[in-house]
Amino acid sequence: MIDVLVIGSGGAGLVAALSAKGSTASVAVAGKSYPTRSQTSMAQGGINAALGNADSDSVEAHIADTLKAAQGLSDEKAVQSLCVEGIDAVEWLDRIGLPFSRSAEGRIAQRRLGGASAQRACYAQDYTGLKILHTLYDQCMREGIVFYNERFLLNLITEEDEKGGLCIGGANMLNIKTGEVEKLEAKTVIVATGGYSRIYHRHSTNAVGSSGDGIAAAVRAGARLSDMEFIQFHPTALKNSSILISESARGAGGYLLNAGFERFTDELAPRDVVARAILEEIEKGGEVYLDIRHLGEEFIDEELPQERKLAKLYEGVDPVCDLMSTGRTVWAGTHCWSWSYLGARQATMRQNMPRLLVCIVKMKCSWSMTEILLMG
Ligand SMILES: Cc1cc2nc3c(=O)[nH]c(=O)nc-3n(C[C@H](O)[C@H](O)[C@H](O)COP(=O)(O)OP(=O)(O)OC[C@H]3O[C@@H](n4cnc5c(N)ncnc54)[C@H](O)[C@@H]3O)c2cc1C
Same domain, 1 and 136: yes
Same domain, 307 and 221: no
Same domain, 298 and 309: yes
212 lines ligand 1 (CB under 6 A): no
Here the CATH number for the domain that contains residue 317 is 3.90.700.10
- The structural domain count of the chain equals 2
CA of 208 to the centre of ligand 1 (A): 10
Structural domain range at position 240 = 232-335
Of 37, 271, 345, 355, the catalytic one is 271
Task: Give exposure, 194-225, as e/b (b: 16+ Cβ within 10 Å).
Answer: bbbbbebeebbbbbebbbbbbbbbbeebbbee
CA of 257 to the centre of ligand 1 (A): 30
Same domain, 194 and 269: no
Same domain, 94 and 166: yes
Same domain, 97 and 109: yes
For position 223, what pLDDT does the model report?
82
Domain boundary among 335, 353, 368: 335
For position 118, what pLDDT does the model report?
95
Q: What is the pLDDT along the chain (376 residues), one digit of tens a residue?
A: 999 999 999 999 999 999 998 877 899 999 999 999 998 998 888 999 999 999 999 999 999 999 998 888 888 998 999 899 999 999 999 999 999 999 999 999 999 988 899 999 999 999 999 999 999 999 999 999 999 999 999 999 988 877 777 788 999 999 999 999 999 999 989 999 988 888 877 778 888 888 889 989 988 988 877 777 777 778 888 888 888 888 889 988 999 999 999 999 999 888 888 888 988 888 888 889 999 999 999 999 998 999 999 999 999 999 999 999 885 443 333 333 333 222 222 233 333 445 555 544 333 222 222 333 322 2
Q: Give the residue, out of 66, 83, 193, with the most ligand 1 atoms within 8 A of its beta carbon, to mutate for a pocket test.
A: 193
Residue 271 falls in the annotated catalytic set: yes
Same domain, 218 and 367: yes
Same domain, 162 and 258: no
**Which helix H or strand E contains 142, and what residues bound it?**
helix 128-142
In whole angstroms, what separates CA 99 from the centre of its chain?
18
256 lines ligand 1 (CB under 6 A): no
CA neighbours within 13 Å on the CB side: how many for 230?
21
For position 56, what pLDDT does the model report?
95
